[in-house]
Amino acid sequence: MTNLRKIQSFVRRSGRLTLGQKAGLTEFWGDYGVDLPEGNIDLDALFVKRQQVVLEIGFGNGDSLLEMAINTPDRNFLGIEVYEAGIGRLINEAHKHQLRNLKIIQADAVEVLIQHIENDSFDTFQLFFPDPWHKKKHHKRRIVNPDFLDILSQKVKPGGRIHMATDWEHYAIAMLATLENHPDFKNTQSDPIYSPRPDYRPMTKFEKRGKRLGHGVWDLIFINEAG
């Protein structure tokens, strides 16, 4: 895990924030933002209701995470992102909908998982359209690697789901191989193939545009068999 912590798998983007994004980061942060404690986060105390918890990292502008939280009130959603504008936008939208099953952390997801999350905490893990780092010399920065899967196998409950999606075919091939070769994860498909897109994963406007242009999207859904 040492190498995983040293290699940055994301780029911190900055830019001018809209009034809504600023409001999300300041005015509504107390309702949706999570300030990291010294030790582990108490997930039971974090949400209004105790129910299954879904973790999504790298949610970008938050469109799909917002829609899932709205459509699935019987689950709690925790999102981790470093992109300020996306965080502010998501929190502002969550406030408009008065959601009570969504919380946001602004930090490096790997560090949060290692330093602030107890084992067997999540029922589902989601990673949608991570940076593919398409240049070969940058492949080492891809977050989906054996070390990261070792962390997930500890933090996701036995029997919990790992759901990843990408629109880069070469990354999809690498992700599938990495998951298939890990001893703790089992493909929900009978063969080492990709999963059909489930109805619960919203199709974002970027994905719709990509499909119109003939771009593919690959979903991978695995079960954690650790423990």
Could you list the active site residues? 131
Give the lowest-confidence range in 6-10, 28-32, 115-119: 6-10
Q: Identify whether the C-beta of residue 168 lies closer than 8 Å to the C-beta of residue 131.
A: no
Q: What confidence score (pLDDT) does residue 13 get?
A: 54
Q: What is the pLDDT of residues 70-112, one digit of tens each?
A: 999 999 999 999 999 999 999 999 999 999 999 999 999 999 9
Q: Based on the structure, what is the number of domains in the chain?
A: 1
Per-residue pLDDT averaged across 204-219, rounded?
84
Q: Predicted confidence band at 211 (pLDDT cuts at 50, 70, 90)?
A: confident
Supply the mean pLDDT for the chain.
Answer: 91
User: Which CATH number covers residue 160?
Assistant: 3.40.50.150
Percent of the chain with pLDDT over 90: 79
Looking at the predicted structure, is the pLDDT value of residue 144 above 80? yes
Residue listed under structure tokens 């880069």: 168
- The pLDDT value recorded for residue 69 is 98
* CB-based contact 161:195 (threshold 8 Å): no
pLDDT attached to residue 132: 78
Length of the chain: 227
What range defines the domain where residue 183 resides? 2-224
pTM listed for this prediction: 0.91
First-last CA distance in the chain:
20
pLDDT tens for each residue of 49-72: 999 999 999 999 999 999 999 999
Give the model's confidence band at 5: pLDDT under 50 very low, under 70 low, under 90 confident, else very high: low
Residue 169 has what pLDDT?
A: 92
pLDDT (tens digit per residue) in 159-177: 999 999 999 999 999 999 9
pLDDT given for residue 7 in this prediction: 53
Whether 2 shows a pLDDT value over 50: the answer reads no
